[in-house]
Structure formats: structure tokens, C-alpha cells
Structure 1
């Protein structure tokens, strides 16, 4: 290689201000071939493989187990119960009462005045024989059976009928009805109902203690499951509200984080999540939930003071940042106009002093 070539290459390298990567194998092209170094295969024991497999298993968590869904007896489904018009019960009771009176008069047990009114003057009666006792018992049973089965059905209500602990049907009819008096009746309210909870404790995703009041709109859809599938459907609903509130609020922050993520201040999103969760838990027991809306969310007293100070500090920092941005824009506009119009001719030092004085003046004025 000549000196001319070296100088030209150096000048070209300085002029272009760039370098070229040199392959590593070219650095040793004048050296003899390196001696190959034999490599011994690594020996891996069975214990090392088991430890590595266990470590990978611990680092890769498996899928979370599915949450069990509440369920009741699949055969427990509402079906219509037997009910007759109440007129039949009234007629049966009247006939039984009349038969009882006639049997007593036949036996001569009615007072004299009753026999006179019935036109049986001087009738002493045949006494209580087998026939009289049978007539009296049959008439009395008919009267009790007819009157004892009378029931009043209300609009927006139903009767759940059971016998010896077995479900025999539900009656949703209104008006005067006759139901089998040997069945046990339980009245159920089918109207749309609102339940406002007491302040319930909860925590958000950051662990801040909260107190929440929830308004739930619900009604009974399946009378059999609501009355026989749970010990008390109202208590079950309250427990479901408390559990669903704890699950939903623990997944959301109380303050704004990600703009796309729902927060506790977003009442519509929070209500939708809580309603969906509560409807899933209450549907298997025959309760239909229309809405579950938190009406009040506040911090616990011991947390409210600290959160109030934090909110005030955040608002103050935001205001200061806004004021500083406005001041910087004003200073930049002022210096640009002064320089563009030729009113001042400043070097770098004088420009810095001017920017500093204008910033202090504008910021003080904005702060006041």
C-alpha cells in the first residue's frame, strides 16, 4: 500500500465522517488456521431436569378455577296450581251449615225457638243416633271444607302451595278463590320492588376504604325457586348485593387512571357491571334484577381527609402547570415580536436576562 493511497483513504474517511464495520474473520486472515478445540457434551442429570421443570411450572401459573354458579334443584320450577272459583266454596259452606242445622234439629238439639221458626212445633227430636251423627259430621265437614278453602288472590301476588313439604303449584289468579284447605299456603309478592341498602363497606382496586349505598330494582320471576329454593329470598338478595359490590369495586379505581378504563365515578359503567353480576347470581333462585345502581360512594372518615388533601394538591399542581404554560407562551411571543420588529438587538446573555425578567413578571401577575 502506497502513501498516496493511505492519504486518499484517510481524507475520504474524514470528509465523509463515517466508518465501515470490519468483519471479525478479516482481522485474523494473516494468522494460521486456529486449532480446533474439542467440546465435551454437557451432562444433564435427571435431578436438574426435574428442578427446571418445577421452576417453569411455578413461573407459569395455570388458569384460574372457574367460579361455581349458584344452582337449585332443576326439578323445582314454577307450575300452575289448582284453584276453583270462590263461589263454590261459599256454596259448599252454606250447604254444610244448613245440613248441620237440619241434623241438629232432627236430633232435637236445637232450642225451642229454632224449632218454632222452622215450623216444627211440638217436635221432641229423634235423639242422637248413628244416622244423626253421620249427617251432622258430613254437614260439618262440608261446611269447614268449603269455608276453610276460601282465599283472596291479589293482583301482583301469588300463592305457593305445598303439602307435606312437597311443592304442589302456584296460583297467580286474583279475586275470591277456593284452594284445597289441606295444602299449606305461602303468599308471595310479585310486584316490582326497590331496595335501598345501608352504607356497606368496600375497597377499590388501590385498597382505599369506601362506603357505598346501592339501589336495587327487582322482582320475583319464579315463585317456586324464590320461596323453596332459598331460606329467605330477600336475605339472599342482600348478601348477593354485598358480595357483588365487593367483587366489582375491587377491580376499579376510585380516581381517574386510564381514560378508556371505567372508574367508580362513572356511574353508568359501574351500574352496568354490578347489574350484570347481580343478575347472574340471582337468576338461579327465581329473582329477576333490573338494575343495581350505586347512589352514593364516599371514602371512610379516616380516609376522606387524606384524599381531600391529595385532591386539593392535584388541583393546585394542575393550575400551576396551566399558569406556567401560559406564561412561557406569553414570554416567547413577546421576545419574538420585539426581535422581529427590530426594537431590541440582544445577544444570548441579554436574551436570557430578558426571558428571565419577563417570566418572573408574568408569573407573578398570573399568580396574583
Structure 2
């Protein structure tokens, strides 16, 4: 089933024609031409059933005795085939907020996820005839696609590189929109945007995963501190030797590096010990 334009003529022109026929029927009755008057009156009643009003951003799908005869999408008043049944389909942009779903990510961790889908109908015939209820179809397929995408990625990556639900929200949203478009094509629906609105670990593992994230952050911070401490120790020794302030043998270099590393890397303030000199 594909959408095509139904036959129609301007409604205002047709109303003028109906008014002329009504005047003719009245004239026939006045001149005692009863049969002609009755025929004109019946014809006016039959043709009046073909008047159709279409609101902006709306489509009317027409069927005539069970046969699809086309759609009218232009707003205004029109005359179409009389006694044709018409079903209203909104062409406005709409939002669908999915429920918060509990799914397992690619590593098997239960996560809670939800999304908002922005869509509109672009093919009225498909929306009416190819699916039972296109709004319900959008709802079910959106949740199905969201579950499928969520199971393909981990919630978070604790190593460099790789995609994750939390770290690559734009990429995940783009893949969700593409998959939704493939699923909703049959219903004549265009997906304009899909975005995650809620993402969190499930309650039963949230505490453990928070500790894991904290440990990973501490480890990464320690790594940066150690790299900086090594550079500072090397710079201090090179500066002292360059300016000839003091000559250090290998043993004293090791002691100095040890003291600098302890002072910089320690998570608590260092307690300096002042050497006032030797007794001998």
C-alpha cells in the first residue's frame, strides 16, 4: 500500500454549484415541476455527502466501499467522491517517551534505560492499512529497538577506547534512530530523533558498580601523580647538577628521589625532617 492523491475539486466552487441546484429545486417546486424538484433535491443531498474539510498538518485517507481511493493532505474544503469513508491521520511531529526498561548490557549487568522518540507520519496509507494501530506500533517497536541496542554495548568502559552507553550517548542515539527507522518504515513513519533520557545501573548492583568506578578513578589519578612525580624528580636532579649547587653520588640520588616520590605521591601531607648537621 502506498499513498497517492485522491480526486478532488475546490469545495467553495462546489458549494456555489450546490446553491444553484437548491435554487433550481425551489424554482421547480414553485412552478409545480414536482419530479424535477425532487430529483434536484435528492441530487443535492447526495452530492453534499462529498464535502470534506481538512485541517492543517492533517491527512484524510479515503475508502469507497472498501476500496482505497487516495488521500487528501492539502488543508481547506474540498469535494471528493460522495459517501467515501475518511479516516483522519495527524501529520504533526510527536514525541514518545518510553517506559524505564530494565535490560542486561553486553557484559550481563542489569541497567535501567529509557528514551524519547520524535517522529511523524509521512505515508498516511501505510499508517492506516499496513499496521493495526500505528501509534501502538511505534510504542512497541521503540521499546524493542531500545532493548536491542542496550544489549550490544556495556554500560561503561573502564579501559581506553571502545563504545559504551554512558560514554558514547550520541553514537548510541544515532544507532537507535537508524534501527527504529528500519522497523517503522512499514508503518509510514519517519523517525526524526531518538535520545536516551535515563541511564543507570539497576538498584541491585548500583552500589558495587559505584565502588568500581571510584576505584578506577583513584587508580587513574594515582597513575597521573606517579608520572608527574617521576618527571619532577628527574628535573630537580638535573637542575642541581646543571647549576653545580651540589654533587650527588648514586646513593644520595636514590635517597633524594625516594624523598621526593614520598612527598609528592603520598595522599597525606608530608612531615619534613630537618637535618641540622652531623655531630662529627
Interval containing the TM-score (normalised by the shorter chain) = 0.7 to 0.9
Task: Supply the distance in 1 between the matched residues of 2:76 and 2:245 (Cα, whole angstroms).
Answer: 98
Deviates more, 1:85-94 or 1:332-341: 332-341
Partner of 1:206: 107
Task: Report the Cα offset of residue 210 of structure 1.
Answer: 2.9
Task: Kindly tell me the number of residue pairs found equivalent between the two proteins.
Answer: 267
Task: Report the Cα offset of residue 163 of structure 1.
Answer: 2.3
Change in 2 beyond 3 A, CA 1:330/1:85? closer
Task: Supply the distance in 1 between the matched residues of 2:248 and 2:78 (Cα, whole angstroms).
Answer: 104
Matched-pair contact (CA < 8 Å) for 1:88–1:178? no
* Alignment gaps of 5+ in structure 2: 270-280
Instruction: Specify the SS of the correspondent of 1:290.
Output: strand
Partner of 1:275: 177
Instruction: Summarize deviations over 1:15-66 as a string: whole Å, max 9, x none.
Output: xxxxxxxxxxxxxxxxxxxxxxxxxxxxxxxxxxxxxxxxxxxxxxxxxxxx
Q: Does 1:154 align with 2:55?
A: yes
Q: Does 1:252 align with 2:153?
A: yes
TM-score (norm. length: structure 1): 0.62
* Alignment gaps of 5+ in structure 1: 1-75, 108-130
Task: Supply the distance in 1 between the matched residues of 2:3 and 2:256 (Cα, whole angstroms).
Answer: 86
Task: Supply the distance in 1 between the matched residues of 2:64 and 2:206 (Cα, whole angstroms).
Answer: 55
Partner of 1:48: none
Task: Supply the distance in 2 between the matched residues of 1:187 and 1:315 (Cα, whole angstroms).
Answer: 56
Instruction: Specify the SS of the correspondent of 2:78.
Output: strand
Q: Does 1:323 align with 2:248?
A: no
Matched-pair contact (CA < 8 Å) for 1:220–1:226? yes
Which of 255, 261, 265 lines up with 1:363 in the alignment? 265
Matched-pair contact (CA < 8 Å) for 2:111–2:155? no
Matched-pair contact (CA < 8 Å) for 2:49–2:83? no
TM-score (norm. length: structure 2): 0.78
* Structure with bigger gyration radius: 1
Alpha-carbon RMSD across the aligned residues, in angstroms, is 3.2
More strand by share: 2
1:122-133 matches, within 5 Å, as 132=34
Partner of 2:116: 215
